[in-house]
Structure 1
Amino acid sequence: MLRSVWNEPPAPDPPARVWRDWALVGVLVALALLEGAVRPDMPWRTVSMIVTVGLVPTLLWRRTRPLLMLVIAFTTSSVVPLFLGGRPDSYTMVFVLVLVYALFRWGSGREVVIGVAVMLVGVRFSLAGAPLAPADAVGAFAVVFSAMALGGALRYRARARMRELDQVKLLEREQLARDLHDIVAHHVSAMAIRAQAGLATAVTRPEAATDALRVIEAEATRTLAEMRAMVRVLRKNEPAELAPGRRVSDLRQLACQGRVGPSVDVRLAGDLDDLPPPVGAAIYRIAQESITNARRHARHATRIEVLVAADDTTVRLRVSDDGDAASPRLVSAPGYGLLGMIERAGLLGGTCEAGPGPERGWTVTAVLPRAGAAT
């Protein structure tokens, strides 16, 4: 426990000094002078005013140098009574609690441990000549402990908030990775298949090369449009799940792209009009990736079937092909595309499974809650 506290790093990114810090220093200096003027019975009035005013500027470095400022304040307030034979009594010196708070809020673990030791030694020296009554000692300890607890609590809260933000950033990076993979893999695969078909028929049918170039140009245009949409979302610092927006109805466009290679048959059943955008986008991306994988890996496949059915609670997607049986390597070592599909479904509280079909080919099945509630 002590080792973990000792190795605790300082709180990151302490706020820079602002005008409020200077205003606080000015107010405390004015209060110290006013207190000296209205309290003629203050012990060692002149020395108390000088010490208080001299220690107030330590507040300006309380975030960047919390241990050093605390040591200066407690050492000075502890040594002065040894020379005076008594303890200066300035109410304004209560600002030292701000230094205690700052140490626990911004200091490292070793600084906190050293600071506590310095405070204990300082209190011991300051009370050597004029011990406090038990009730006063308990009250003083409670006040100092409250400052420590407040600093530690806000430090923990800030750390928890930072972890939450890091988790959100990680989820958005994973979302972007899935979108990038799906967009690039799908469109580049379509361009590659069309280019291969054009090369194969270019000798006997020269016009086929021209048709292939037109299809490749269209695919490249769509890819650039979706990439620009994603970059636009990133520049606007919006959630990654908004880019690019796709719906279940867009699946019909995938069927229109099946001129080369296996034909794609898309069937939609049930009420799919009012699906939440995250659910519709997930269904589209899973189907898109499944079609891409079938075109790339399904040997001797002639047909890819896409079925989306919805009821009151769930949305089901099934993508299957009639190609040869999948290789064991593909089954045992899924790639990023399959992992991305499983992650998409899992983030919405659903499931996604992929494997060999009952007779031949490959089948991907995804079941998502209609409400799209993430787990």
Structure 2
Amino acid sequence: MESTELNWRLLAKRQWPLALSLTGIALLETGSISTGHGWWQVPGVVVVCVIAVLAPRRPFDAALALAFAIACVGVYMRFLGVAIEPHLFWSGANVSITGAAMATIATVVREESRARSVAGTGLVLAAMTTVEILGWPIVAPIEYREWDPDAFNFAIAACVLLVLAVGTGLYFRARDNERTSQLAASVAAAQNAERMALARELHDVVAHYVTAIVVHAQAGQLNREVDVLPAIATSGTEALTAMRRLVGTMRDGTSGGPAASSSLMDDVRALAEESGLPVRLSFDLEDAVPQELARSVLRLVQESLTNTQKHAAAVSSVDVSLSSSEGVLRLAVLDDGIASGVPVGGSGGYGIVGMRERVELLGGTFSAGRREPTGWTVRAELPLA
């Protein structure tokens, strides 16, 4: 992921098993509370568990907050003179607090840098140790009881839990790195494919102008009285304008995008009819649209409608608007569908990447995102010259 600060929807999807587990454990633990003052542990346990569930949003800050919360629980329970029940080790933290600490350590190791991971883990361990030390005089006063002979076993168990938490974090960190590498390779492939498709489309347009230049030049050779220079100059200028849009190299194959005719509006209408969606069209074109740009516009419209078909349910309307003014062509495709849960992005999940790459290669700007309360928006602005 690019940022560790997840939005609430992704956080809920990722953390609900942990939240459910900690809630169940905490509820079971409340049944073992034997004193009235013992119920004071409940607010602290709730705070600690909530911090652990929210930790992926700000992992290192969560580790700091969790360590402080655990230490506070130990201090005020020591002040009240009651122990945390049921204590998992000698005298301190219970199962829910220990589970929250393990989950937070795993999250910090997974998301943060090495230095922050070590620091966050150390703070959480220090807080857990503090709880044990503060709880020991309550559970087993020194003057009445010798050191617990099982202390060594408890220490081994604590080390095993620590290794388990750190190992889990490292495992998911490796998986995240692998997934990031695969995603980067897929995005690069999608960008390269879009460059090639754009290059082939523009090549067809440039070939048309070059052919016209050749024809006029041959005509001038056959009949020297005919002034073909203005026509050649016009075709050459148009060819150069299109060539400036040609990026990358060529490869074999044919473009999978829609073909452009002499009327961009008719082509967009045809795409809307073929999609089978309830499309509402709006045109306000003040300037002529070059053929090479019209092809790209059709490709954007086609990909946007395909995304709506694949990844939206209960679509009642799709608004497609196309306008131009002051040398800029503006396209907007808006739907009101409900996301089906599949990532929006067209074929292979990278349609949005391809559209963005195409628009940026043409010197324009692109944006895509969710609408409120439901729906998806695609917007693009392309220079006409």
TM-score, scaled relative to structure 2: 0.46
Larger Rg: 1
TM-score, scaled relative to structure 1: 0.47
